[in-house]
Structure 1
């Protein structure tokens, strides 16, 4: 089980695309930093559908995206830094893209 940490914008990095290519059904993704806004595009919503997705709440709130994330990713969970640490301990490995 791998926690894929996506922190770079999809315009700047292929990290999310690569993470989705290698992620298994048991893996999860945590979206933070510049990736937060870029995954709100409809094409990414489709690709992330059915995946276990978390967002770092500080980055979502800092960008004023709370309502958009809730609307476009209703099954995603917002986590704080403590929650991020807890997630990292639940998975065998964390890969940052």
Structure 2
């Protein structure tokens, strides 16, 4: 997810089609979605990962310490563990 939930409805659409084994990677402005309590609540039961570089670039590392921060190599490895990868 590359866009903030304030920018469009991509995150809402993504959640709508998710299964229990799915996970979400928030990158770019997508990490800002977790600044909104309603999105933290909606994502509470979903495996959420954040792209470390994007979190650090926004100065949000301390705020998002409870979420796994992953680098690009881990992102690629995670992508390979799923049957489908959809970019929103």
- Residue of structure 1 in register with 2:47 after alignment: 52
- Residue of structure 2 in register with 1:32 after alignment: 27
In the alignment, the residues of structure 2 paired with residue 80 and residue 55 of structure 1 have an alpha-carbon distance, to the nearest angstrom, of 9
TM-score by length of 2: 0.95
In the alignment, the residues of structure 2 paired with residue 91 and residue 77 of structure 1 have an alpha-carbon distance, to the nearest angstrom, of 18
- Residue of structure 1 in register with 2:82 after alignment: 91
Q: Kindly state the Cα deviation for residue 28 of structure 1 after the two structures are TM-superposed.
A: 0.3
Q: How many residues align?
A: 88
Return 5+ residue gaps in structure 1 as ranges: 1-5
Return 5+ residue gaps in structure 2 as ranges: none
Q: CA RMSD in A?
A: 0.8
In the alignment, the residues of structure 2 paired with residue 53 and residue 41 of structure 1 have an alpha-carbon distance, to the nearest angstrom, of 15
Match of 1:78 among 69, 74, 77: 69
In the alignment, the residues of structure 1 paired with residue 14 and residue 34 of structure 2 have an alpha-carbon distance, to the nearest angstrom, of 13
Q: Which has the higher strand share?
A: 1
Contact 1:40 1:69 in 2 (8 A): no
- Could you give the per-residue CA deviations for residues 25-49 of structure 1, whole angstroms, max 9, x where no partner exists? 0100000001111222111110000
Q: Which has the higher contact order (CA 8 A, sep 6+)?
A: 1
Runs of 4+ aligned structure 1 residues displaced above 6 Å come to none
